[in-house]
Amino acid sequence: MTRSTGAKGCSPDNAAAEGFFGRPRQEFFHRRSFAGVSMDGFIGMLNDYMVWYRDKRIKTEYGTGIMDRRRKLGLVA
């Protein structure tokens, strides 16, 4: 991943980027040992995490996953 943030002094952009990149650090990187994992294996694990994060992770604001919320609102099939 390449981190991309806003211009220097643009705190709303930087805060959003820090919030996004902080979550995988807490939930993905710090909970595992990557000893003996190949680069392809790591990429696969990270991809699985990102799919889970996008589709299945429970948002406390909604009480459900974001994709379930979108389905309920009729935004996705």
Question: What domain count does the chain have?
Answer: 1
Does residue 26 lie within any of the structural domains?
yes
Tens digit of each residue's pLDDT (9 = 90 or more) over 2-33: 655 556 666 777 787 788 888 888 888 887 88
**Res 77 pLDDT > 80:** no
Q: What's the pLDDT at 10?
A: 66
**Domain limits for position 32:** 11-72
pTM confidence score = 0.62
Domain membership flag for residue 77 = no
Asked whether residue 32 is assigned to any structural domain, the reply reads: yes
Listed residue (62, 61, 49, 63) closest to 21, CA to CA: 49
Angle 56-69-26 from CA coordinates, rounded to 5°:
35
